[in-house]
Structure 1
Amino acid sequence: MLSTLRIRHIGVIDDALLEFGPGFTVLTGETGAGKTMIVTGLTMLLGGRLDRGRTRESSTVDGTLSLAGHDELATALDELGADEDDGEVLVVRRVTRDGRSRAQLGGVPIPIGTLARLVGTAVTVHGQSDQQRLRDPDAQREALDRFASQEIGPLRERHREIWRERSALTERLAALDALLAERDRRGTALREALERLEQADPQVGEDEALRTELERLGSAEELRGAAGQAVLALVGDDDGPAAGALLDVAGEVLGRAARTDATLQPLVERLDAMRIELSDVAAEISRYADDIDASPGRLEEANARLHELTVLVRDLGAMLPGPDGPAEDITTLLETSRTAAIELDRFEGAEQERGLAAARLAELEPELAAAADALTAARTTAAAALSAAVQEELRHLEMPDAAIRVDVSVQSHRSHGRDAVAILLAPHPGAEHLPVGQAASGGELSRVMLALEVALSSSRSDRSAAPVFVFDEIDAGIGGRAALAVGQRLARLARHAQVIVVTHLPQVAAHAGTHLQIVKSSREGTTSSTVEHLDRPGRIRELARMLAGDAASDLALAHAEELLDEARTVTGGESPARGAGG
């Protein structure tokens, strides 16, 4: 429920605090006192816009809302890290004249859209031009579903589960068809490319290694000459000294000296090591020179292999491109071939997956049709019950000759079924049933809306999350017995919900459990309004003013007291919904 509402600097209201009762709260006041500003403030709290003409430098509304039963709101508070106080949350909305708007939920700043979504689940405002549920087919279907939620709810959820699975399968089939079309276009070429690559069996870096080898083989004569000269310099021949022979002489001379001076022995050993290393180097150079001549056909073989790999890269590079474009060497081609192999694997599994998806989709179609049929049957039954319930409420609202009908017809299949729901009204005998928004006058439309709300609330099984209804002059265009009837039905609605009503009719106001009066005052040329909570004597005076325009008339006071007592007798107490959650 909505516990308090504080409005600052909106229209004629400087600062007003409203404390609502848990059942039926009524707001009254003279014309121009600011009753509309109260509804405007409530609408702001739900994320609505504020007319710039009613905005001061800064207009603020804050309200205290009970969390009991409102699971979505409570969950959102946990996710936001917002504060709550003894099961209640403070909602704040501030609008400046230059159009800037701020909202807070439990002390945490939130977007206006989030405010509207979360607080809108707990509070519903009905104005004279706000009977959208009586004009919008989707809203009428949702109203019917809420009326019979125990029967329709599980069937609708089952239908939605099948619909979601069918939608997912349909999307997957489209993706698989695209994949198979790609397979038909590229699959064969990719497979042939991979087979050709497998037959050639190239190795990572092989083309670069071949180029290096070919450069060496092309300079064989020069390399052999260099190797021969090096060997000759190291080991020599009969024509002249060489490094090896000179090392032998140095070793022999130093060895003889070491027999006299032992400190020379380490140097002798180093010379011996150098002689061995020189001999090894000379041997390796000789083997290198021999290898150049060992395979006279290797030059032709290497050239042929490099040509084969070059052609492979040229032919397959564009077919198996990498992230930077066509492959330009064997190493890159081998890397991109792995991606192609993965793509082929996807192609291979796509046909089988498509078959399974198509088979499951075929199974789902009759399941979906059966679920839709069951939903239609449940809605058709509920429509008859809702028609009867609203018809009974209209009888109590002084519209006994009006005939209400809730029609369920076929429309295109959607996630909620294939049912279109329309609330139709024949305002008098012999009249054609038309959409209620067309058939009803302003006063009738208000009563039909009230009848619908009472019927829907009476059918609710969960009383812990009773909603908050705000009615802005729902009694416009009616009076007399019809006004009394509206007051009685509002009191009945307040048994299952918190009801806040702005009214100008004493017959309606008398049925409330809590009475708030908007009081206008003028001082120094400035008009402002405040809100007063009325006790019984105050209520009698206000009802007398509403009845006769004179709160001091003995006759009006007596009539007002009688009206208040009769209303208490009818409703069975001041606040029939006291203790209901909000």
Structure 2
Amino acid sequence: MLRGLDISDMLIIDRLELAFQPGLNVLTGETGAGKSILLDSLGFVLGWRGRADLVRQGASQGEVTAWFDLPEGHAAHAVLEEAGLPGGGELILRRINGSDGRKTAWVNDRRCSGEVLRALSETLVELHGQHDDRGLLDPKGHRAILDEFAGTAPLRDKVRQAWSGLAAARKAAKQAAAEREAIAAEEEYLRHAVAELDKLDPQAGEEEQLDARRRLMQSAEKIRSDVVNAYEMMGQGGAETQLGDALRWLDGVAHKADGALEAPMAALSRAMVELDEAMEGVVAAIDTMSFNPIELEETEERLFAIRAMARKHEVLADDLAGFAETLRGKLDALDAGEAAQAGLEKAVRDAQAAYDAAADALTDARRKKAGKLDKAVAAELAPLKMERAVFATQITEETPGPEGRDAVSFTVATNPGAPAGPLGKIASGGELSRFLLALKVCLAKGQTGLTMIFDEIDRGVGGATADAVGRRLAALSQGGQVLVVTHSPQVAALGAHHWRVSKAVSKGMTLSTVTPLSAPERVDEVARMLAGDTITEAARAAARELLGEEFAS
């Protein structure tokens, strides 16, 4: 419930603080006095998207604060918890609009985004503007009204989930069919390529090994003879023999040299060992360089075959094995595709069946509740002086979608014997407003903690009909809170609390004020609404009669 609104430097309001009450709150005033500014300011602090030029001329920023009572179990508590904001029995919203257009918002003194404000506003306030009834002219909105009345949200959620599942199943089946078709178109190529690759059987790293072996064999003929000559120079008749002879000569005379030859002999021994290791290495090199000419030819053939295959498929030689696996996987998918496609088609049928079941349940619920809505609206139309009007909800089948497969439209017959037709073509402006009010009353039943605001919902009606509208609004406010902006004296007279909106020029600046009215002031305001600028005693008497016995002089 909205308890207060504090406005600073917004449009033509310099400073204004209002304290609202439970029940029916009415705001009256001449056209252009600033009643819409109050709603603009409230919408601003609630995060609604509206006009941008809200800051009063000459002010650096505009600010609006609104505070609400939050009873236990109110839907706003869940929004606060999800946003990580402090809760409690009171909710304070504050929002600043700088002259540069920047906006900053707080919830219970914690910074928050406009999205959070809008989420909170959906649980706090419901606004019905001057042209709200235009929504009744669009049948696209009728289904949402019926669903709100019927409480079909859980069933709608199941339909949406089933529709998502059906869409996903259809997409998977379609994509798999397209992929299988694309693979089938290149099946001949795939089988030929896989056969070639399987026959060649290239291995990762094989090209580098073959290339190195080929180069070695190609150079072996050129260097092998030199290596053999080097070996012969080191072996028998060469360095090995000479070193051996030198060591034997020294050994024969070492005992006569008093130890002078021991170090040279040890060095020769080490040289003999090193020479032996060198000879072993050379022998191994000679063995490596020994090859069959046929091996060179075979190595070159395989190397060239691998490189040719890589060029053919435009991949690296080392990637040929992986490429073969990819092609083999496509063939496997093609071979298994028929069974897989059958499984996907079955998934589509199962998803379709699930959607049909969910949509049927939603349709049944809508049809059952449609009759109840018609009866509820009829009961509300009688007090609104439209007891002879017939309101009917028609449900027809339309293209299936995430909201089901029902098209909903409201039809009316406003006069006995007259044919029924679409609401927008049959009802007048005043009748549309009353149909809207009747629907809102039906939808409001069971809602708690929601402030309902009606902006000139009574336009186009007067006299006894306006009185009937006012009485229905007063009844709607019982146990809750309704704010009404009105030009109707009959509606204003039925308010439990009354404010007058007026504007005046002060120091060359137009400012708007809102004044709570005492009993005598209410009499004068209603009299003004009846008679105009000149308030006569007859107008005051008529006003007292509208206001009731407690206002009688």
Give the TM bin, normalised by the shorter chain: 0.7 to 0.9
User: Bigger shift: 388-397 or 216-225?
Assistant: 216-225
More off after superposition, 161-170 vs 77-86: 77-86
CA distance in structure 2 between the aligned counterparts of 1:391 and 1:530, rounded to whole angstroms: 40
Instruction: Please tell me whether the aligned partners of residues 4 and 66 of structure 2 are also in contact (alpha carbons under 8 angstroms).
Output: yes
Tell me, yes or no, if the aligned pair for 1:65 and 1:91 is still in contact at 8 Å: no
Q: AA paired with 1:529?
A: S
Q: For the Cα contact (< 8 Å) 1:146–1:456, is it kept in 2?
A: yes
Deviations 1:35-57 (A, max 9, x none): 12212323434423227498635
> Secondary structure, in 3 states, of the residue corresponding to 1:520?
strand
In structure 1, the partner of 2:35 is 35
Change (3 A) 1:273 1:80: farther
List per-residue Cα deviations over 1:86-123 (Å, max 9, x = no partner): 45141525264x6x352525243535x77556534543
Alignment of 1:91-490 (within 5 A): 91-92=94-95, 94=97, 96=99, 100-106=101-107, 107-108=110-111, 110=113, 115-116=117-118, 119-120=121-122, 122-149=124-151, 152-187=152-187, 189-235=189-235, 237=237, 242=239, 245-246=242-243, 249=246, 253=250, 269=266, 271-293=268-290, 295-315=292-312, 318=313, 326-329=314-317, 331-344=318-331, 346-347=333-334, 350-458=337-445, 460=446, 463-464=447-448, 466-490=449-473
Letter in 2 for 1:9: D
**Distance (whole Å) between structure 2 residues aligned to residue 262 and residue 27 of structure 1:** 131
Residues 513 and 41 (structure 1 numbering): CA distance in 2 closer, same or farther, change over 3 Å? same
CA separation of 1:117/1:80 partners in 2, compared to 1, >3 Å: closer, same or farther? Answer: closer
The more displaced of 249-258 and 129-138 is 249-258
Q: Could you tell me how far apart the structure 1 residues matched to 2:382 and 2:323 are?
A: 79
Aligned counterpart, 2:20: 20
Q: Distance in 2 between matches of 1:548 and 1:259?
A: 155
Which letter maps to 1:518?
A: V
Kindly indicate whether the alpha-carbon contact (under 8 Å) linking 1:541 and 1:557 is maintained by their aligned counterparts in 2.
Answer: yes
Whole-angstrom distance in 1 between the partners of 2:42 and 2:432:
22
SS at match of 1:304: helix
1:203 counterpart SS class: coil
Structure 2 residue corresponding to 1:500, chosen from 469, 480, 483: 483
Identify which of 475, 489, 500 aligns with 1:517: 500
**2:47 pairs with 1:50:** no
Is the contact made by 2:413 and 2:426 (CA closer than 8 Å) also made in structure 1? yes
User: How far apart, in 1, do the equivalents of 2:519 and 2:260 lie?
Assistant: 129
Q: Shift of residue 143 of structure 1?
A: 0.9
- Supply the distance in 1 between the matched residues of 2:265 and 2:67 (Cα, whole angstroms): 104
On the 8 A contact 1:453/1:493 being kept in 2, the answer is no
Question: In structure 2, what residue type is equivalent to 1:47?
Answer: W
CA contact (8 A) 2:202 2:320 kept: no
C-alpha distance in structure 1 between counterparts of 2:518 and 2:266, whole Å: 123
1:48-86 Cα deviation digits (max 9, x unpaired): 322749863544434335566564x65554555445564
Name the TM-score, length of structure 2 as normaliser.
0.85
| 2:33 aligned counterpart, secondary structure | coil
| Offset from partner CA, 1:234-264 (integer Å, 9 cap, x none) | 2352xxx526634762697489769977798
Q: Is the 8 A contact 2:169 2:351 kept in 1?
A: no
After superposition, what is the alpha-carbon deviation per residue over 1:465-512, rounded to whole angstroms, capped at 9, x for unaligned?
Answer: x43322111112222221221111112222365321111223212333
Whole-angstrom distance in 1 between the partners of 2:495 and 2:33? 20
Bigger drift between 243-252 and 367-376 goes to 243-252
In structure 2, stretches of 5+ residues that fail to align are: none
Q: Does residue 90 of the first structure (1) align with residue 93 of the second (2)?
A: yes
C-alpha distance in 1 between matches for 2:43 and 2:181: 55
Query: 1:489-545: per-residue Cα shift (whole Å, max 9, x none)?
Result: 112222365321111223212333333332434333433122233455554454444
Kept after mapping to 2: 8 A contact 1:244/1:278:
no
**Closer, same or farther: CA 93–523 of 1 in aligned 2, 3 Å:** closer
Give unmatched runs, 5+ long, in structure 1.
Answer: 319-325, 569-582
Distance 1:172 1:14, change over 3 A: same
Name the CA distance, whole Å, in 2 between partners of 1:567 and 1:400: 31
State the distance in 2 between where 1:82 and 1:259 align: 108
Q: Using the TM superposition, name which of 192-201 and 469-478 deviates more.
A: 192-201
- Secondary structure of the 1:167 match is helix
Cα distance in 2 for partners of 1:388, 1:304 equals 92
Q: Which amino acid is the alignment partner of residue 91 of structure 2?
A: E
Work out the CA distance in 1 between the residues paired with 2:48 and 2:244. 102
Q: Which moved more, 1:480-489 or 1:360-369?
A: 360-369
1:227, distance to aligned residue in structure 2 (A): 0.9
Cα contact 2:374–2:393 (8 A) shared by 1: yes
Q: Give SS of 2:400's match.
A: strand
Q: Is the 8 A contact 1:23 1:495 kept in 2?
A: yes
Identity percentage over the alignment? 34
Q: Secondary structure, in 3 states, of the residue corresponding to 1:219?
A: helix
Measured in 2, the distance between the counterparts of 1:142 and 1:539 equals: 39
* TM-score, length-scaled by structure 1: 0.82
Contact kept, 8 Å, 1:244 with 1:275, in 2: the verdict is no
Change (3 A) 1:262 1:468: farther
**Number of equivalences:** 545
The superposition leaves residues 306-360 of structure 1 with CA deviations (integer Å, 9 ceiling, x where unpaired) of 2333343344xx2xxxxxxx2242x122243344455555555544332122113
Give the secondary structure class of the aligned counterpart of 2:203: coil
Counterpart code for 1:489: R
In structure 2, how many angstroms separate the alpha carbons of the residues matched to 1:70 and 1:256? 118
Question: Are the equivalent residues in 1 in contact too, given 2:527–2:543 (CA < 8 A)?
Answer: yes
Q: Is the 8 A contact 1:60 1:92 kept in 2?
A: yes
Does structure 2 conserve the Cα–Cα contact (< 8 Å) formed by 1:82 and 1:105? no
Looking at structure 2, the residues matched to 254 and 515 of structure 1 have their Cα atoms a distance apart, in angstroms, of 136
Alpha carbons 2:5, 2:18 under 8 Å: kept: yes
